[in-house]
Amino acid sequence: MSKPTHATHAAHRSDHVQPAKTATAWTWFEGKWHEGDIPVMTVQSPAAWLGASIFDGARAFDGVAPDLDRHCERAIASARLFGMNPPVSAAEIERLAREGLAKFPPGTELYIRPLLWSAAGFVTPDPDSTKFALTLEPMAIPPFTGFSACLSPYRRPATDMAMTDAKAGCLYPNVARAQKDAEARGFDTAITLDPAGNVAEFISANLFIAKDGVVATPAVNGTFLNGITRQRVIKLLAEAGHRIEERRVTYAQVLEADEVFATGNYAKVKPCVRVDDRHLQPGPVAKQARDLYFSWAKAAGR
């Protein structure tokens, strides 16, 4: 593949944005927009055979893209943690994402995915071979309906076991096998523990519980990402007067909770209505968290 395009040049070379009528997705790669899915790496790329890639995910809906700047900043931070030399800045990723939004009808619910990967190197990727692509894909935000979860037999690794402080593609086979196991047992997802046996999160979303008027979520300990939506929900609930505790959470406490809910970029806030054999109802804290989030996002107007 050709040499990575420098971001400052790429910004001037990007195509003029034209609204699309039926595009399933748009991808920016090496200076221009492409409609749909495109090939971007070779079989010899460390990203292909060594998992040397990182990504991030943001959302757009109702004309806003909440915390887009923070998602772009995290993408760059993840790439640097992986030893990559990003050919774009966080600000340039955000600018391109907002340019891409204009290719869709107003209000389209989108998943925004910046991707960076190593294109050369043997075992140790070459930092200066880093490539960048940005995809905007129509994807509806799920409704506020409940999901079920079981306890996964697969745990989250610690920072001395895997690159847990980056949103790295190589972490997701562990996610996938946990998801497959949960589905085989009749559940929508699962709750994963950390190496010490405490709750880390749901398979791919942060976990919250509410009990006796207190909202708790596992303290960040290096085994899961401190989600951007997680941080936003904690702030909004605290401002609304809730007592929030970031602390050790055990699986027994999840089973005994009045409410269990998830936060994440894909669905924002969703209630868990079954944990193993225990059934719950969507609770008022989860509903308020979701309402607060979307009200904040629309008021922020970005």
The pLDDT tens digits for 259-281 are 999 999 999 999 999 999 999 99
User: Are 99 and 184 within one domain?
Assistant: no
Is residue 25 located within the same domain as residue 111? yes
CATH number, position 95 = 3.30.470.10
133 domain-assigned = yes
Residues 153 and 291 in one domain: yes
Please provide the size of the chain in residues.
302
Q: How confident is the model at residue 23 (pLDDT cuts 50, 70, 90)?
A: low
Which residue reads 């991030």 in tokens? 56
Q: Are residues 204 and 84 in the same domain?
A: no
Q: How many domains in the chain?
A: 2
My answer on whether 131 and 151 are in the same domain is no
- Identify the pLDDT of residue 280: 96
The CATH number of whichever domain residue 166 belongs to comes to 3.20.10.10
Among 113, 138, 163, the domain-final residue is 138
Count of C-beta atoms within a 10 Å radius of residue 299: 9
Res. 1 pLDDT band, cuts 50 70 90 = very low
Residue 1 lies in a domain: no
In a domain? residue 80 = yes
Q: Is 121 in the same domain as 204?
A: no
Among candidates 135, 134, 129, 133, which has minimal Cα distance to 4? 129
- Domain final residue, candidates 119, 138, 157: 138
2, part of any domain? no
Same domain, 162 and 60: no
Taking a C-beta distance cutoff of 8 angstroms, is the pair 86, 130 a contact?
yes
Residue 62: exposure state from Cβ atoms within 10 A (0-12, 13-18, ≥19): middle
Residue in 234, 147, 242 with CA at minimum distance from that of residue 187: 147
Asked whether residue 267 is assigned to any structural domain, the reply reads yes
- Please check whether residues 214 and 193 belong to one and the same domain: yes
| Alpha carbon 169 to chain centroid, angstroms | 11
Last residue of a domain, one of 121, 138, 155: 138
Question: Does the residue 271 lie in any domain?
Answer: yes
Asked if 235 and 94 sit in the same domain, the reply is no
pLDDT tens digits along 80-118: 999 999 999 999 999 999 999 999 999 999 999 999 999
pLDDT confidence band for 183 (50 / 70 / 90): very high
Q: Please state whether beta strands 147-151 and 268-275 pair in parallel, antiparallel, or not at all (unpaired).
A: parallel
- Do 193 and 284 lie in one domain? The reply is yes
Give the domain range for residue 216. Answer: 147-300
User: Do 293 and 219 belong to one domain?
Assistant: yes
Is 276 in the same domain as 151?
yes
